[in-house]
């Protein structure tokens, strides 16, 4: 079967949230969580992974509240860990493997220590450790500055700059892909304003380093060696904090590892699940 946005798309009403998901396949459940970039959705972050993973797994790619087609939310009320818990309850899923890119990686880690009884494994790509680094940028990185500009002026040219800074090699990014991203941001001004209101006031995902060390679930950390958004030192720190973890650091790779190196990512995820 050919999986498309249209034939995988549906809305789920949880206790507190209206959450859009793209759902495909059957078997052990995997939940995919996108990053915080302008126009980010479960499908835009994982369309290169869903068809492959859905051959063996029940894949759910969620738009978090405040992104995509899901319910708007102010930065003060943002609680992606709580929203994920409600989504799993509504879908009747007891335990899942959570896979998250960037902001989604932070939610993955937070969910792992807040609700350990609901996770089988944790997988992150380009996740922040929630603390400052020795070798990364002080303040906002180059990538985060362009990301924020994408919310302020979601033009085609800004989206092209965003794709360029998120990747090592942006040759895969067609004009149609860039325009679709710009159109998604422009169609949800309420999401844009809520995100901008939170800049400097609250981290997109807040992590407690001491609680991260309590995670017992098998954890696979991915990071691009050339990530200009979140420095790979963040995953080195997570590696030192999470006892049962391992790190895959990929050269010639930016922040969108699961897109730039989709085949390798899909293979390593399947191998990790099969052995853990």
Active site residues: 255
Q: Are 67 and 191 in contact (CB under 8 A)?
A: yes
Structure tokens at 33: 């969580």
Distance CA 52, CA 245 (A): 24
Q: How far apart are CA 174 and CA 72, in angstroms?
A: 29
Strands, E assignment, 154-233: 219-224
With residues binned 3-state (H G I as helix, E B as strand, rest as coil), the percentages for the chain, rounded to 5, are: 45, 20, 40
- Residues whose CB is less than 8 angstroms from the CB of residue 272 and which lie 6 or more positions away in sequence, other chains included: 121, 123, 218, 220
User: Alpha-carbon distance 81 to 64, whole Å?
Assistant: 10
All residues at 6 or more sequence positions from 263 whose CB lies less than 8 Å from its CB, including other chains? 52
């Amino acid at each position: 079967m050919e999986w498309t946005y249209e034939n995988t798309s549906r809305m789920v009403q949880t206790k507190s949230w209206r959450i859009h998901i793209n759902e495909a396949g059957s078997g052990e459940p995997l939940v995919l969580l996108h990053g915080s970039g302008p126009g980010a959705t479960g499908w835009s972050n994982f369309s290169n992974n869903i068809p492959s993973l859905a051959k063996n797994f029940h894949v759910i790619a969620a738009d978090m509240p405040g992104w995509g087609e899901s319910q708007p939310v102010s930065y003060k009320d943002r609680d992606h860990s709580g929203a994920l818990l409600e989504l799993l309850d509504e879908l009747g899923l007891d335990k899942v493997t959570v896979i998250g890119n960037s902001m989604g990686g932070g939610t993955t880690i937070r969910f792992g220590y807040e609700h350990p009884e609901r996770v089988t494994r944790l997988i992150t790509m380009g996740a922040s450790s929630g603390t400052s680094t020795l070798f990364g940028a002080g303040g906002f990185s180059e990538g985060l500055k362009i990301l924020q500009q994408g919310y302020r002026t979601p033009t085609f040219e800004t989206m092209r700059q965003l794709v360029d800074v998120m990747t090592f090699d942006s040759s895969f990014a067609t004009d149609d892909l860039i325009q679709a991203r710009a159109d998604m941001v422009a169609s949800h001004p309420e999401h844009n304003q809520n995100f901008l209101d939170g800049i400097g006031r609250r981290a997109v995902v807040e992590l407690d380093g001491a609680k991260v060390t309590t995670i017992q679930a098998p954890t696979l950390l991915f990071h691009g060696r050339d990530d200009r958004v979140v420095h790979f030192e963040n995953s080195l720190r997570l590696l030192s904090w999470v006892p049962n973890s391992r790190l895959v650091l990929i050269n010639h790779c930016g922040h969108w590892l699961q897109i730039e190196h989709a085949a390798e990512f899909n293979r390593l995820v399947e191998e990790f699940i099969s052995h853990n």
